[in-house]
Amino acid sequence: MVKVVTNTINESLLKDDKAGIDKENNIFTLPIQGMTCASCATRLERVLNKAPSIVNAQVNLALEQARLILDPKSISKDEIYHIITQAGFSVPTENLEFQVSGMTCTACTVRLEKVLKQLLEVHEVTVNLATERVVVKISEGTLSNTQIISAIEKAGFTAEPLSSFAEREVQEKERIKIHERQELRRLWISALLTLPLSLPMLFMPFGIHADLPAFAQFLLATPIQFWIGSRFYIGAYQSLRGGMGNMDVLVVLGTSAAWGLSVWNMLSSTGEGHLYFEASAMLITLILLGKWLEGKAKRSAASAIRSLMALRPDQARVEQDGNFIEMPVDQVMTDMVVLIRPGERVPVDGIILEGSSQLDESLITGESLPILREQGEIVTGGSINGEGLLKIRATTVGSESTLARIIHLVEDAQASKAPVQKLVDKVTHVFIPAVVTVAFITFLSWWFIDGSVEIAFRSAISVLVIACPCALGLATPTALMVGTGVAARHGILIRDAIALESAQNSNTVVFDKTGTLTEGQPSVTEVYPLSDTKEELLQLVASAQQGSEHPLAKAILKKAEEQTLVLSQPKNFRNLPGRGFQATIQERAILVGNRRLMKEHNIDLSPLSSQGETLEHQGHTLMWVALPQYSSQLLGVIAVSDPIKEIARQAVSSLQEQGITTVILTGDNRGVAQVVADKLGIDQVIAEVLPEDKANQIQSLKNQGHHVVMVGDGVNDAPALAAADVGMAMGTGSDVAMETAGITLMRGDPSLVASALSVSRATYQKIRQNLFWAFAYNVIAIPLAAFGMLSPVVAGAAMAMSSVSVVSNSLLLRRWHP
């Protein structure tokens, strides 16, 4: 677990890997290869959900991933991979190689193979006893070197990777570059072959008829149809074998019909039939162009993840035997001492042992200004060191690091499905059969009405090629990818699409006070004793609170330390949530807490009531001290002040400008809470609430018609965060709060609340726009094609551009700023 002064990421909230197994919840994420449109994703999802070992499956077209919730009693990775293959898709793999020490015989290799094959992400293991090398074939991007080394060590051996993370990153970039180059080369070849076929069509409006001979058209169109267009035939076959059509089926039906009829007319005895070679060739070329542009746009949409990954340095300078040596970051282990020079990126999370420096954490927390870090403070991997030389002790490395967990959380959010996607999936499921039916009806109708097979044929082809399920399938996930990515760059981590949808509907924001609107670092301002001296009263209360993490306890202990008071060991300490505590100090049972606690024990506060009321009106929190066993004697009162965050007024104002009601929900005294509310302009105060009642207060607001966002940072806020429509946890707060929340704010900055709601609304607006245009496109374009108002070539161009337009619209979200 990593605790950072300005940004803490919860271990339960941010799970293992972007693609891999979340062992606690049996969530398995796999990369999927071969999906071309929304129908593919829907078909694979339907097939996977039928498997006995899979509780639930969600397939994301934009990320090309399948997220599976598995039944722990019947998990079968072979079954999962077999289902994916049978459905016509594949799981891309990569090989990781390790040097293993400690193997002595064949039994060792068998044991090691068995241990590694138990990992769901592992496809194949090859162990070479002679060279002491192990090659592990895994689902691409699912396991890190650290995780595999951990499994090898559990088998009783030691290992080190033969290729670093950086090298694998380079290999992945090279693979993408090669794929792009191949796609572009095919597009150019297709365009060059299509050009002679399309020129006569372009010259025709000028009265120039320059048709190529039929056989020449055949020679140009055939390689486009069956070589360049082979990907469509393969995709259509795999789709139909899986029991459902996809975009490839429509393309193959349309272009094959055009090519086939052209060949028939060319070879027929009369030779008078029209040739459609140019239509089939131009359709394939235009669709390839659209797919190429779509791919570039999708990679651009995923740029947020790549920019986060780029923060990870390749090498770290580690101390060994008194010297510092460079090693791959993947090989840095916990408790190693790492040296960070000025201007370098911090390679791992760690605690500063020596030195101090200003660190730029902007790409992790969204904080624009560098932050001073000194000895004993925690630094986050990926931040940039300023002018100082730092020596740190590594605390978390690899997939457990803060940056890795941020990346994985963003990827999980991007892989999730918005509730509105369920409607899209239902439409997509019947889309292809419906389009084929409409095309068939169009052909028969034109043939019957006009008697022209040519017009009937051309209209039917137009219907087939203009229909585009891809635009529907990409509308939601691409907007989510860009929206959650840009939010992460500004310090807002959105857990999933459900949290995002709930946030954009919110009309009420409820703030916890301490640590959320205030600094969370209170200080003792006044001590009023009745019988003892100020020092004795402070010493008594400080002694009772040793070891406590409560902000008020820290304030008391800090004041005692400043006055160098000698503290006694407490006994029988008992916490009283929402009220205070009781303990025994030097055989004296004392009671420390708020007015509610004093009232429960019939403590008379009148001797100090005037002082208490004055302090409360000034916004101080009071800690009353009493001896309940001695005639309920009041010993005194200690006033603590927690300064309001400078940005809090602006944060509240920003929310109110959006028409949002603001509320304070706190266990503190009503007077203190009202002072804070008055200073910040907050609409409503709910004070003196016990931790267990906070959730009830949230539910009460929801019952009144409020759509509630709860913002908090403490353990006692967790029930309220869970009860709210959306929970927002401050990244400076407790782990439990962040585990419960749907959105984590990486800085203790309440202005991020308005920013989180803003980016949620902007993202959902893009989803609505994308879905509107995707549906409108098909609703308008298919009837136009059926009525013969669009030629197949124009239909193909429109279909190719529809997906590009949807992704491009999503990319506009990158311009969003808080």
What single string gives the DSSP state of each residue in 47-87? Answer: HHHTSTTEEEEEEETTTTEEEEEE-TTS--HHHHHHHHHHT
Q: 210 and 216 in contact (C-beta within 8 Å)?
A: no
Domain boundary (578, 609, 641) is at: 641
Q: Are both 42 and 110 inside the same structural domain?
A: no
Give the pLDDT score at 480.
Answer: 84
Q: How many domains does the chain have?
A: 5
* Residue 352 banded pLDDT, cuts 50, 70, 90: very high
Mark whether 512 is an active-site residue: yes
719 and 688 in one domain?
yes
User: What residues contact residue 482 under an 8 Å CB cut-off, 6+ apart?
Assistant: 301, 304, 763, 766, 810, 811, 813, 814
Of the listed ranges 246-250, 251-255, 378-382, 710-714, the one predicted with least confidence? 246-250
Q: What is the per-residue pLDDT for 270?
A: 56
- Mean pLDDT lowest among 54-63, 235-244, 431-440, 500-509: 235-244
Could you tell me if residue 669 is inside a domain?
A: yes
Residues 81, 108, single domain; the answer is no
Plot region of 586 (φ>0 → left; ψ -120 to 50 → alpha; else → beta)? left
pLDDT for 33 = 82
Most confident stretch, 158-167, 465-474, 638-647, 757-766: 757-766
The model's pLDDT over 279-321, given as tens digits with 9 standing for 90+, comes to: 788 878 877 887 787 777 767 766 666 676 677 777 889 988 8
Question: Is the pLDDT at 710 greater than 80, yes or no?
Answer: yes
Dihedral sign from CA coordinates of 339, 343, 349, 353? positive
Mean pLDDT of 142-156: 81
Residue in this structure with the two tokens 């051309």, named with its chain if needed: 458
Q: Which of 349, 412, 496, 512 is catalytic?
A: 512
* Chain segment 473-522, per-residue pLDDT in tens: 778 878 888 888 888 888 888 887 888 888 888 999 999 887 788 887 78
* Residues 605, 498 share a domain: no
Q: Would you state the pLDDT for residue 353? A: 92
Q: What is the pLDDT of residues 75-109, one digit of tens each?
A: 677 778 878 877 777 788 887 888 787 665 555 66
- Burial profile 547-574: b = 16 or more Cβ within 10 angstroms, e = fewer: ebebbbbbbbbebbeeeebebeebeeee
- What percent of the chain has a predicted confidence (pLDDT) above 70? 85
H helix runs in 385-420, sequence order: 402-415
* Whether pLDDT at 128 is above 50: yes
Q: Are the CB atoms for 678 and 697 separated by under 8 Å?
A: no
Question: What is the domain-level CATH number for residue 576?
Answer: 3.40.1110.10
SS3 442: helix
Residue 715: pLDDT band (50, 70, 90) is: low
Tell me which range, 35-49, 674-688, 727-741, is most confidently predicted by mean pLDDT: 674-688
Q: How many C-beta neighbours within 10 Å does residue 336 have? A: 18
Which candidate, 275, 284, 270, 289, places its Cα nearest to that of 200? 275
Shared domain for 752 and 661, answered yes or no, is yes
669-689 pLDDT per residue, tens: 788 888 888 889 999 999 888
**Confidence class of residue 13 from pLDDT cuts 50, 70 and 90?**
very low
Is the predicted pLDDT of residue 573 greater than 70, yes or no?
yes
Provide the token pair at 147.
């995780």
Region class of 227: left (phi > 0), else alpha (psi between -120 and 50), else beta:
alpha
Would you state the pLDDT for residue 165? 47
**Same domain membership, residue 533 and residue 512:** no
Locate 491 and state its tokens. Answer: 């310090």
**Contact of 513 with 673, CB cutoff 8 Å:** yes
CB of 249 within 8 A of CB of 236? Answer: yes
Element (H, E) at 574: strand 571-576
Residue 631: the pLDDT is 63
- Can you give the pLDDT at residue 192? 92
Tell me, what's the pLDDT at 75?
66
pLDDT for the residue numbered 758 = 92
Residue 22 has phi, psi (to 5 degrees) of -90, 95
Q: Would 800 be classed as within a structural domain? A: no
Domain boundary among 69, 86, 103: 86
Mean pLDDT of the chain: 80
What's phi and psi for 128, nearest 5 deg?
-110, 110
User: What range defines the domain where residue 540 resides?
Assistant: 523-641
- Output 356 or 78, whichever has higher pLDDT: 356
Percent with pLDDT over 90 in the chain: 9
Are residues 612 and 658 both part of a single domain? no
